[in-house]
Chains A and B, each alone.
Chain A
């Protein structure tokens, strides 16, 4: 009979289908991580969307800057030697009443309106580079950052500085 009782206990142990405490904790942790991941996924996708909209706004602001430069092609033409637009930082307003300074003030105002007051790490700069020594075609690179430099948007376009 004793042997039979031992057999029953063994059978009983084999049929114990429940989870141990450790197993259930591991499972709970996995489920928890899943939830956190889902939360993050949603948050990240929202941030990506907002960055994408910032880029859209940056693209529009860049278009405005390029069009403004187009109407000042004589100044761009002089960029082979001295160029008031090159290395312009429109985080600050322009100084003086020259055309480039007036435009800098305008761009600064619009950038602040679209992206808010720039933080320390936000860049808002313009670079003007001549494609070759004799060319009137210039590459304009505009960097507009937001979110304290975390959202970097760099736009590059060419401008043929046609001189009337």
Chain B
């Protein structure tokens, strides 16, 4: 019975089936290829975004800690350091310093290194040193940690970094190089580069006092941070500057020089009536002025509890530069705040001064002064006149006169501290802006991708034309410890 079970395909059926199968396979293959391309694209885009997020989060967390000082540890002077790579080379670097524990001060540095022979492939490294003194970024990039420090870690934290830019901001503007100008410097305590005095009398036990004073006389003692060493000048010792007339004509005086221009905004000063013993209801202004009847002898008997200082600038050809423009000074007009109404620092012909009455420990905010205008001038020299120095006169154990001006006594100042804006050094930023450009490890597609318009991050402009993917990310963080301590 041949032909009874003819169940096979005819040639035409086979050809049609093959054609349909081929179409389906081709579609499936095309679909797979496209999905695979998309997967690779997504994988690399995800890689770029994840790397950027991880890096930025890590850097920001360290920036937030910058300047943190454990109790009793020395101040951190270089909490944030930036190294600019310029406009041509990759990439900037940043270094932050903070106390990880009371015994471990860390310097954390982020910088890039070229990887392999590909001069466009950079790896970002996190480098941690335990330090005693700050290292420069160049020192860290040149080698591990120098002998003065201990290397704790150095690890790559991102690859294919094409640009990394750090920009420092302060008061809403990019940090300056420290040129003289209101707001361009760093606010901090100021140490004079030289201290000379025309009247110094070394005496430990003034008028017979026998307290804990350890040294006296040298003017530098008033700026050494130790209140048990004092600057002293005998009242009968004539001052040697006949050009000074009037109130400060009988003063001893100190000339302070600064290595770079400074603008003073605050002066703290202190006398030490308590050193020889007795009590004065605390070392406060009111303690001397109003509560003197409750003093117990010998509080303020030998050492003055009140003194007056005059801070003069513009004397003897001293150079000073007006730092302010009216619009730059919040809530104040320069012209209203200068002695004689002038905005310029007049040399020789008209010295300016701020005078400060010291009662125990006194802090003077110069920004609220309307006379001297010292807080508007960048100066490199300042004369400090000491005038008026009063002790307490005791009768039968009771202070009967706290305005007693002993003609044989001494002017005596325990401490003078100057605070203000220092110029001539890179400004310490309060906010760090971080920008990063990362490329994909792999090429994608057959057509070069080029940036539409050059991408500028920080001070560097990026262009490219190849088959790799790229993306940039930018954020900013306030350096909390520096910002709040400056307010």
Contact = CB atoms under 8 A, between A and B. Distances in A.
B62 to A, nearest CB: 15
A113 B472 contact: yes
A38 B31 contact: yes
Interface stretch (A48-56, A85-93, A118-126, A143-151): A48-56
Contact residues on B (Cβ < 8 Å of other chain), bracket: 35 or more
B474 A60 contact: yes
Contact of A68 (B27, B49, B56, B476): B476
A43 interface: yes
Interface string B27-44: 110010011001101100
A81 to B, nearest CB: 17
A24 B20 CA distance: 10
B431 interface: yes
Given A49-B45, A53-B49, A64 B475 contact: yes
A7 interface: no
Nearest to B328: A97
A18 B14 CA distance: 12
B476 A64 contact: yes
Given A50-B45, A53-B49, A71-B430, A60 B172 contact: no
Contacts of B478: 67, 70-71
Contacts of A64: 433, 474-476
B27 A35 contact: yes
Interface residues of A, number: 36
Interface in B418-477: 430-431, 433, 455-456, 471-477
B11 to A, nearest CB: 15
A46 B41 contact: yes
Given A39-B31, A64-B433, A56 B42 contact: no
A63 B475 contact: yes
A61 B474 CA distance: 7
B172 A68 contact: yes
Contacts of B433: 64
A61 to B, nearest CB: 7
Given A35-B27, A60-B56, A45 B42 contact: yes
A49 B53 contact: no
B290 interface: no
Contacts of B46: 49
A110 B474 contact: yes
Contacts of A97: 327
Contacts of B476: 63-64, 67-68
Contacts of B39: 42
A49 B42 contact: yes
Contacts of A4: none
Contacts of A28: 20
Contacts of A39: 31, 34
A152 interface: no
A45 B43 CA distance: 12
B172 A103 contact: yes
A38 B173 contact: no
Nearest to A103: B172
B483 interface: yes
Nearest to A65: B476
B9 to A, nearest CB: 9
B31 A35 contact: yes
A49 B47 CA distance: 11
Nearest to A72: B172
A143 to B, nearest CB: 18
A66 B477 CA distance: 9
A32 to B, nearest CB: 8
A57 B473 CA distance: 6
A164 B487 contact: yes
Contacts of A57: 473-474
A56 B472 contact: no
B49 A56 contact: yes
A46 B456 CA distance: 27
A148 to B, nearest CB: 17
Interface in B40-99: 41-42, 45-46, 49, 52-53, 56
A100 B476 CA distance: 16
B329 interface: no
A157 to B, nearest CB: 14
B243 interface: no
A68 B475 contact: no
B38 A46 contact: yes
B153 interface: no
A46 B42 contact: yes
Contact of A56 (B13, B53, B430): B53
Interface string B399-432: 0000000000000000000000000000000110
A146 B60 CA distance: 26
Given A99-B172, A102-B172, A113-B455, A31 B41 contact: no
Contacts of A24: 20
B7 interface: yes
A15 interface: yes
A114 interface: yes
B221 to A, nearest CB: 34
B15 interface: no
B24 interface: yes
Interface in B151-187: 171-173
B472 A114 contact: yes
B45 A53 contact: yes
8 contacts: A42-B39, A49-B46, A57-B473, A60-B56, A67-B478, A68-B476, A99-B172, A102-B173
